[in-house]
Structure 1
Amino acid sequence: MSGGPEPISAEGLRALREELAQLRAERGEVAATLRGDDPVGDPADAADELQRASDVTRLDRRIAELEGRLREAEVAGAPSTEVIGVGSTVTVRFSDGEEETVEISEVAEEREMTLVTYDSPLGKALLGRHAGETVTYETPGGAASAVVLAVGSGG
């Protein structure tokens, strides 16, 4: 990505908020099982306690990442409708003549619109481009190209 605040599509925003809610709930459940200052019983109990504490730390790190990304997206505002970036919807025509609308995303998940992650070969080729430009990228079958027909903001 660009290194500055990156926009995010409405769908990406929804996915991050959903993951954040799930992680917060999971963290609450795991944290509730920690004993705190109570003495731990046998070594197996101690190992379980250490694992749960480690899980809370891991969850805290991921929660902080997501909260930071959501703050960044808020600062960045809506995706550009002129230059392709994360969150943009892009209509492309592939060399075989097929046209498809894709969304440049940080996260890959199943949904109706095709998602292209920003770090995939096609995603990398599209970032920073404008309507009318031709991009080339590598596929498992070799080099491919596509013409950018339109750029819009995700949603």
Structure 2
Amino acid sequence: MAGEPRPISGEARRALEQELADLRAERATVAATLGGTDSPGDAADQADELQRANQLERLDDRITQITDRLHESASAGLPSTDAVGVGSTVTVRFADGTVETVQISEMAEERAHTLVTADSPLGRALLGHRAGDTVGYDAPDGPSTVTVLSLGEPSEDT
């Protein structure tokens, strides 16, 4: 299962696409500052050139990672509505009775308050569970439980 393509949420896809656009713009700016002179310059100029070349390499590596992840998710199709996985939209009822719809994501996003990362305590606990399951997890305030109400669009019980 580790080698299978993994879907991502729409929100995570948009965040990756925005990061990719930002990285490509930054790469173009850095690349424009490289080379262009035949004179070797002093040691400070050479060090600066090396630093920009290293930055360009890091940008290229991240661009490749994001591009590969976007291609992988495209071939994975939509997130499952049978069991919770990365990319799933899940409506849950917490132990205190509050109901919330969250998306399971592989990365945290500053602007998305309803995302739960797959490696967070709640995210790890939800993975693989189905509607109707009650799941225990370690919350910041101590052990807690959550009940999976539905997968997919928000539950009518909210």
Point out which structure has higher relative CO (alpha carbons under 8 A, 6+ apart).
1
Does the 8 A contact of 1:87 with 1:153 survive in 2? no
Deviation (angstroms), 1:112: 5.5
Gaps of 5+ in 1: none
Q: CA RMSD in A?
A: 1.8
How far apart are the structure 2 equivalents of 1:126 and 1:3?
21
CA distance in 2, matches of 1:101, 1:2: 27
Normalised by the size of structure 1, how large is the TM-score?
A: 0.93
Q: CA deviation at 1:143?
A: 0.7
* Aligned residue in 1 for 2:124: 124
Identity %: 61
In the TM superposition, residue 105 of structure 1 has moved relative to its aligned partner by: 0.7
1:86-143 deviations in whole A, cap 9, x for unaligned? 1111010011111111110112123465110000000000111100001111122211
AA at the equivalent of 1:14: R
1:100 partner amino acid? E
Q: Distance in 2 between matches of 1:101 and 1:118?
A: 15
Task: Name the counterpart of 2:17.
Answer: 17
1:1-155 mapped onto 2 (5 Å cutoff): 2-35=2-35, 38-111=38-111, 114-152=114-152
Count, aligned residues: 154
* Change in CA separation of 1:96 and 1:2 when aligned onto 2, cut-off 3 Å: farther
Q: TM-score scaled to structure 2, two decimals?
A: 0.91
Please report how far the alpha carbon of residue 81 of structure 1 lies from its aligned counterpart in structure 2 after TM superposition.
Answer: 1.3
